[in-house]
Chain A
């Protein structure tokens, strides 16, 4: 096509006129929101602190929040005690280099990680049956499991997580909160006894409660002045009721 003077101008004007009538791209932000998937979380990022250490504490909160469970991670917990992981072993931290190596076809040195051993799952299944697969009884389940195996095997915890529907990270959190629970087989009897001594007994629970109530009553009495006698009476009555119940039992 030969050159026609003004053809380019006409084409440009036609283009802008077409744009004039087209639907607009603007999203009026406070009133309208961009049409993204409800599970969209934006761009995830792992941050480093000023010493170049990864700021991740392996708390699994991001992995828990991830709606499509795309986050895999592995690492050592903050006290350097336990190996923790989330997701398929192929994908977490210390396995990543290894899997890259494996994909490259080179031999993989496997020193850091040992795959969790298989266990006989019948005891833990019986325990779960007993507690009706209810995650609300997690502490009892874990204690029973530890009683059955001597410690909490990773395979058992994974099975509990799978059966009860509780997040692995939650079970891990529960198990690490109570110091009498352990993830490794104890090396000798003395260690077992020491760990069992840490188990909070019924008596220690009651003693703790009494101490807390007494502290609250005393605090209220000294703080509120005029109502101090009433508060003291209330706490005394409560403790008497407790004694009475104890006598009946």
Chain B
């Protein structure tokens, strides 16, 4: 016994962890291998037989998971971009260029006390952020990120989108009502009034587009826009796109229409009584909404995952590089390429300047070689894999739009509530009706 305890005490702290973890890992791997050989085929068959369910579960999980880094990224973008526009530097301490600051914010929110006020309807109070968050997240299910990369290709995708995103109003009202606070209630009603008002021009602005496209499936809408960027619907529906953009800004509660939680003016609107992660859900939902609204705008008006150019088929590179054709040579390439490339990229720097020492040259070479390999891999994926190209274009366009939203927040002042309502009912609604009638008339006169 003493021998065992003495040996254990001699281990360092990482040693103690490893001493337990390594055998556990070996056992777990062996067990997993045995399980796979025993039940692997059965599991695959079962999953293949229930493909729709598997697809739904995987899509729902993936979409729930990607919202978190998306929200973090957009919060970081907001902090950094507005800071740069204010001639400040913004976050620069946590992570590279401060990019992990929003993660720290998320952890902070997670660790705060989750407080329910006395007199609050605790069930409704608890479920309100969930409703708001899910209403945002569920809309992502129908958005086509790339060819074949979507949760579900509903033939009423756009209708589903508006229906589900409209559920957020219910969540806001729930939050305002259940807080047992008149200011929360007023904030909730304000938010509901704004979102309901802007739903109308938002929905009407895309009806003209639907007349043109003849489909409500978002996937089909994107495929209709294939070709050069002039085939995008924004050039056939400029007024519709403008109305949609303005109404979507109000829907996402973004500046200049961020009255519902104008952080510099009112307490926090419907979220006054919320704290901790329940407040975090509202916060997340807001930023996920920015992404979703941008993604929908890209899908409807900016060609979705289509590249802005369509090269003739003769120009397209046919990549038929099969890694298996190298046989055993593949191993040598994988083993030698990093070394050779590091030396190759480092040598010019070493020869160029006597002030660069050999290890600095090697470091530069290593970084450059990695960049080169990553570039090659991305280029190969872009050319070889359809969905990689699609998601790259989609994300590029979406984040340009997200940048625009942040840019607007860095620039524009907030409107008054009467200006907000007057603008929706007196200008946007007639304009969207005009857009609808002109489009319909054009279709009747000119034909499709």
Contact = CB atoms under 8 A, between A and B. Distances in A.
A16 interface: yes
A24 B408 contact: no
Interface residues of A, number: 13
B174 interface: no
10 contacts: A9-B411, A13-B411, A15-B411, A17-B85, A24-B87, A24-B88, A24-B89, A26-B87, A28-B89, A28-B92
Given A13-B407, A17-B407, A26 B412 contact: no
B376 interface: no
A26 B98 CA distance: 15
A20 B84 contact: yes
Nearest to A18: B85
A131 B411 CA distance: 74
A188 to B, nearest CB: 75
B81 interface: yes
Interface majority SS on A: helix, strand, loop or mixed?
helix
Contacts, number: 33
B412 A12 contact: yes
A146 B412 CA distance: 79
A28 B90 CA distance: 11
Nearest to B88: A26
Nearest 7 A-B pairs (CB), nearest first? A26-B89, A16-B411, A16-B85, A12-B411, A25-B87, A19-B85, A20-B85
Interface in B70-118: 81, 84-89, 92
B338 interface: no
B197 to A, nearest CB: 21
Contacts of B86: 19
Contact of B87 (A13, A19, A28): A19
Contacts of A22: 87
Contacts of A16: 85, 407, 410-411
Contacts of A9: 411-412
A1 to B, nearest CB: 21
Contacts of A13: 407-408, 411
Given A9-B411, A20-B81, A24-B88, 6 more contacts: A12-B412, A16-B85, A19-B85, A19-B86, A28-B89, A28-B92
Interface string B403-420: 000011011100000000
B406 to A, nearest CB: 10
Contacts of B87: 19, 22, 24-26
B340 to A, nearest CB: 39
Contacts of A25: 87-88
